[in-house]
Amino acid sequence: MSSAKFDAAVVLRVEGLTAGYGGSPIIENVSIEVFAGKITAIVGPNGAGKSTLLKAIVGVIKVSGGHVFVLDDETTNFAPEKMVRRKLAYVPQVANTFPDLTVRENLEMGGYTRKDGTAERIVELCELFPDLHASLRRKAGALSGGQRSMLAMARGLMLDPAVMLLDEPSAGLSPLLQTALWEQIEKVAATGVGICVVEQNTRRSLRHADWGYVLVLGKNRLDGPAEVLLHDEEVIDLYVGRLS
């Protein structure tokens, strides 16, 4: 797959997705594209349906209309465990690590379907996430909030995904730790993984993203290069706020 937006492959394509929790749809006719090695940010007000969109993509909730393609294959309504094998990793906002297991055990569980190369992959990820290296034998529950977010991402990377969906990875972190986390997300993207990140901190996520989608009331409102959205009057007034 290719597109005119970037000189990179489309690793995730969502076309006209409609989904919800049994009542009326929460997201309606939503379309997005995620590119290899690029960061795509989904922004929008509370309750816009950002987390619901991720859950629908990864098969946690059922899709009632539209299509999901990962790499070149259609994966609409595949179960989450099947999506992992299709090279899509999903890091939910909560319950994304096992607090009673060590960092290493968490990583091993993240790679549970690997036939081989688990130890080697952990070494690679320790290079990518130096903070985790020193903590391999610590319980995940004893890590700081920033380290736990890094571990959740590293776990998701154990199976060499082509796409990674991150739901509010920097929620609850101090500004300094948010900066460190975003630098880490950029490092992961630089390895070729297509990142789709949902964040409440609109300004910060658009600063780091390559492309942004604004979602309002479960529908696509507008999208464009993140840099352009950051200076778009409507986006600033509604979601970013003016710098004083």
Ligand X SMILES: Nc1ncnc2c1ncn2[C@@H]1O[C@H](COP(=O)(O)OP(=O)(O)OP(=O)(O)O)[C@@H](O)[C@H]1O
Q: Which is nearer to ligand X, 16 or 47 (CB)?
A: 47
Q: At closest approach, how far in Å is the CB of 94 from Mg ion?
A: 10
Q: What is the DSSP letter of 100?
A: T
Phi, psi at residue 26, to the nearest 5°?
-95, -40
Nearest to ligand X of 41, 154 (CB atom): 41
Taking contact as CB under 5 A, which single stretch among the options 17-25, 50-58, 76-84, 221-229 is the one that binds Mg ion?
50-58
Minimum distance between the CB of residue 50 and Mg ion, rounded to whole angstroms? 5
Which region among 51-59, 141-149, 189-197, 224-232 touches Mg ion (by CB under 5 A)? 51-59
Residue whose pair of structure tokens reads 């990875």 in the numeric block: 169
Closest approach, Cβ 91 to ligand X, in A, equals: 14
Count of residues that interact with Mg ion, criterion CB under 5 A: 2
Q: Which does 49 bind (CB under 5 to 8 A by kind): ligand X, Mg ion, none?
A: ligand X
**How distant is the alpha carbon of residue 113 from its chain centre?**
21
Identify which of residues 50 and 121 has a Cβ nearer to Mg ion in the complex. 50
Between 4 and 94, name the residue whose CB sits nearer to ligand X.
Answer: 94
The three-state secondary structure class of 74 is strand
Stretch that binds Mg ion, among 25-33, 42-50, 110-118, 225-233 (CB under 5 A): 42-50
- Rounded to 5 degrees, φ, ψ at 88 are -115, 125
**Least separation, in Å, of the C-beta of 9 and Mg ion?**
28
φ, ψ of residue 41 to 5 degrees: the values are -105, 135
Return the one option of ligand X, Mg ion, none that residue 46 interacts with (CB less than 5 to 8 A, by type): ligand X
Q: Which is nearer to Mg ion, 10 or 42 (CB)?
A: 42
Whole-angstrom distance, CA of residue 148 vs CA of residue 171: 12
Beta strands across the sheet bearing 63-70:
27-35, 10-19, 63-70, 73-74
Interacting residue with Mg ion among 34, 38, 51, 156 (CB under 5 A): 51
Q: Toward ligand X, which CB reaches closer, 76 or 93?
A: 93
Which residue in 209, 207, 195 sits closest to 231, CA to CA?
Answer: 207
Q: State the angle between helix axes of 118-128 and 145-157 in degrees (0 to 180), rounded to the nearest 10.
A: 140
Give one DSSP letter per residue of 126-174, joined into a string.
HHH-HHHHTTTTSBGGGS-HHHHHHHHHHHHHTT--SEEEEESTTTT--
Binding site for ligand X (CB under 6 A): 21, 26, 44, 46-52, 200
- Give min distance, CB of 206 to ligand X, in A: 15
Q: Which positions lie near Mg ion, rule CB under 5 A?
A: 50-51
